[in-house]
Amino acid sequence: MNNHPNITHWPERVDLAAAFRWAAKLNLHEAVANHFSLAVNEEGSRFLINPNGRHFARITASSLIEIDANDPDTLNRPDAPDPTAWGLHGSIHRSLPHARCLMHVHSIHATVLASL
């Protein structure tokens, strides 16, 4: 049940926020330098992503931002995502609509995640 009718894609937000919190609990992060995203439309161009500068352990469903991979003004928004996150996730979601969830972590963390 969506108890937050003014927030779009509530079930998806809850799931993605849970992924962030588990990644933090398992120490699969580098402070605020990693990002996860989840496509929320069929074309894959609209997606949820963590806000810039927020630690994985502090991500909530309502703190996730929804952005459009085809919007050239995304980085001019007051809640703009990290430019690296925008470039990486935006280009992948734009090019590969079947890639619904992207999880960007680094070095040893990426190896662990790929091995699960």
44-103 tens-digit pLDDT: 999 999 999 999 999 999 999 999 999 999 999 999 999 999 999 999 999 999 999 999
What is the pTM for the complete model shown? Answer: 0.87
Q: Is residue 61 part of a domain?
A: no
- The pLDDT of residue 6 is 63
Q: Please report the sign of the dihedral spanned by the C-alpha atoms of residue 61, residue 64, residue 65, residue 67.
A: negative
pLDDT-based confidence at residue 113 (cuts at 50, 70, 90): confident
Q: How far apart are CA 78 and CA 19, in angstroms?
A: 25
7-26 tens-digit pLDDT: 899 999 999 999 999 999 98
Total tally of structural domains belonging to the chain: 1
Q: Is residue 18 part of a domain?
A: yes
Domain of 37 in residue numbering reads as 7-44+84-97
Q: Is residue 62 part of a domain?
A: no
